[in-house]
């Protein structure tokens, strides 16, 4: 379609961003099956887990076991979230080849989430990226709260631009801009992308929308129209951040793929297999999928409740 990228790289974050905030404990075998189903469905990148403090995120305390159990499909990336050097050591011991480092454009959010302000978090990230690059590890960066913060409200776009730039400077190949509690609308999203792209280049930007207010798909379309070609999403619309009250799941991967394929954009993803995967993880969690496509499939299969 004119003015849109021909191919979109979809980064699946359900096994990490999705499962990190689920109150129901889900066993390691189900996480492994989830990741294997996602790779079989053709997702090119699957954020598999995180190596953060298990006191903070007990849901992902089995990161080592998950990574030891999955079938690594050639050509699929399995990044894992890493907050500090200890996390990097754990990731390297688990055979991780790509990590994701994270900070925010809000001092208060950062303090609640990682117990460090923006500058301190970027210093911590530099301590990680040096040895990671030496070990030939690819590094993705996240900036949270790019269109608003649950504690500070408005966030200045020049702060987002500066933090994104500092992440690239620290060695990230790409920066994913996170609307952590789904505050943004398409005009704001597009304006932010323009500002960040002017500093770091469009091909370094990914977008990460939570769908709290039902704006995620519209925001993605606005960003594709200005040249973004990498989009994060979460199967079955799982997720949220436990340190961002009110954050619901990310944009559901099924609904995103449906829109992209409908517009003739390539993703390499098998939508039917993905919808089945969404139903699988929703059953494991004992609830209905948050994706529209999952709800339609559940109804068609006669499962009005899951
Ligand atoms: P801290 O809070 O300053 O406390 O940690 P600490 O340094 O004293 O460590 C706390 C405990 O964790 C200690 O153990 C450490 O040894 C241990 P204790 O003495 O209590 O027994 N510890 C670790 N254990 C295993 N692996 C490690 C590790 N590090 C420390 N790597 C820290 C700072 C950053 C580690 C902590 O605050 C933390 O893990 N925070 C993670 C919070 C998190 O995962 N949030 C969700 C991800 S961000 C997100 O979802 C947003 C995103 O999706 C984008 C968007 O939507 O905007 C990415
Ligand atoms: Mg997120």
Give the residue extent of every domain in the chain.
Answer: 25-300
Q: How many CA atoms lie within 13 A of 210 on its CB side?
A: 26
For residue 143, which phi and psi values (nearest 5 degrees)? -115, 120
Q: Closest ligand 1 atom to the C-alpha of 116?
A: 3
Q: Whose CA is nearest to atom 1 of ligand 1?
A: 115
Confidence of residue 240 (pLDDT cuts 50, 70, 90): low
Say what the pTM is.
Answer: 0.97
- Judge contact between 152 and 193, C-beta under 8 A: no
**What is the average per-residue pLDDT within 195-210?**
98
Q: Is the pLDDT of residue 129 over 70?
A: yes
Task: Give Cα separations from 111 to 80, 82, 170, 244, 249 (angstroms).
Answer: 21, 16, 21, 12, 22
| Ligand 1 mean position, distance from CA 86 (Å) | 10
Nearest-CA residue for atom 23 of ligand 1: 53
For residues 197-214, average pLDDT: 97
Per-residue pLDDT at 305 exceeds 60: no
How remote is the CA of residue 114 from the centroid of ligand 1, in Å? 6
Residue 2 alpha carbon to ligand 1 centre in Å = 43
Q: Are 53 and 71 in contact (CB under 8 A)?
A: no
Distance between CA atoms of 37 and 283, rounded to whole angstroms? 14
pLDDT, one tens digit per residue, over 85-117 is: 999 999 999 999 999 999 999 999 999 999 999
Nearest CA to ligand 1 atom 32: 114
The pLDDT tens digits of the residues spanning 259-275 come to 999 999 999 999 999 99
Q: Is 241 among the residues known to form the active site?
A: yes
Ligand 2 center to 248 CA (angstroms): 9
Ligand 1 atom 11: the closest Cα is on which residue? 53
Instruction: List the residue whose alpha carbon is closest to atom 21 of ligand 1.
Output: 55
pLDDT tens by residue, 7-45: 999 999 999 999 998 888 899 999 999 999 999 999 999
Q: Which CATH class is domain 25-300?
A: alpha beta
Per-residue CA distances from 73 to 19, 30, 57, 90, 258 (Å): 21, 18, 27, 21, 24
Residue 113 CA: which ligand 1 atom is closest?
Answer: 42
Q: 24: which DSSP letter?
A: S
- Between CA 48 and CA 67 the distance in angstroms is 8
Q: Per-residue confidence at 246, pLDDT binned at 50, 70, 90?
A: low
Count how many Cα atoms sit within 13 Å of the Cα of residue 263 in the half-sphere of its side chain: 19
Percent of the chain's residues with pLDDT above 90: 89
The angle formed by the CA atoms of residues 169, 113 and 184, to the nearest 5 degrees, is 75
Q: Which atom of ligand 1 is nearest to the CA of 52?
A: 39
Ligand 1: atom nearest CA of 82 is 31
Q: For residue range 141-167, what is the model confidence (pLDDT) as tens digits?
A: 999 999 999 999 999 999 999 999 999
Q: What is the CA radius of gyration of the chain?
A: 18
From 145, 172, 223, 241, the catalytic residue? 241
Q: How many residues does the structure list for the chain?
A: 306
Q: What is the pLDDT of residues 61-85, one digit of tens each?
A: 999 999 999 999 999 999 999 999 9
| Ligand 1 binding site (Cβ under 6 Å of any ligand atom) | 17, 20, 50-57, 83-84, 86-87, 90, 102, 113-115, 142, 144, 178, 180, 208, 210, 241, 243
């Amino acid at each position: 379609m004119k003015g849109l990228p021909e191919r979109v790289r979809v980064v699946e974050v359900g096994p990490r961003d999705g499962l990190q905030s689920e109150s129901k404990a889900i066993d390691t075998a189900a996480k492994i099956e989830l990741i294997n189903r996602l790779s079989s469905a053709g997702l090119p990148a699957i954020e598999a887990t995180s190596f953060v403090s298990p006191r903070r995120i007990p849901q992902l305390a089995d990161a080592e076991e998950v990574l030891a159990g999955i079938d690594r499909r050639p050509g699929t990336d399995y990044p894992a979230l890493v907050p500090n050097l200890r996390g990097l050591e754990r990731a390297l011991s688990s055979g991780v080849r790509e990590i994701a480092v994270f900070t925010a454009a809000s001092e208060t959010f950062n303090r609640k989430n990682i117990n460090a302000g923006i500058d301190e978090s970027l210093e911590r990230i530099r301590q990680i990226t040096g040895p990671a690059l030496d070990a030939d590890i690819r590094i993705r960066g996240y900036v949270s709260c790019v269109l608003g913060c649950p504690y500070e409200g408005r966030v200045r776009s020049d702060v987002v631009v500066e933090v994104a730039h500092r992440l690239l400077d620290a060695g990230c190949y790409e920066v994913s801009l996170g609307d952590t509690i789904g505050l943004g609308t398409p005009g704001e999203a597009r304006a932010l992308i323009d500002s960040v792209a002017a500093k770091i280049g469009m091909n370094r930007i990914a977008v990460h929308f939570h769908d709290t207010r039902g704006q995620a798909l519209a925001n993605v379309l606005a960003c594709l129209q200005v040249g973004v070609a990498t989009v994060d999403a979460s199967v079955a619309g799982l997720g949220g951040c436990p340190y961002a009250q009110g954050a619901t799941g990310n944009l559901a991967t099924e609904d995103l793929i449906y829109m992209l394929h409908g517009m003739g954009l390539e993703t390499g993803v098998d939508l039917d297999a993905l919808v089945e995967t969404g139903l699988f993880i929703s059953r494991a969690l004992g609830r209905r999928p948050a994706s529209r496509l999952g709800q339609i499939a559940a109804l068609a299969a006669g499962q009005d409740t899951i």
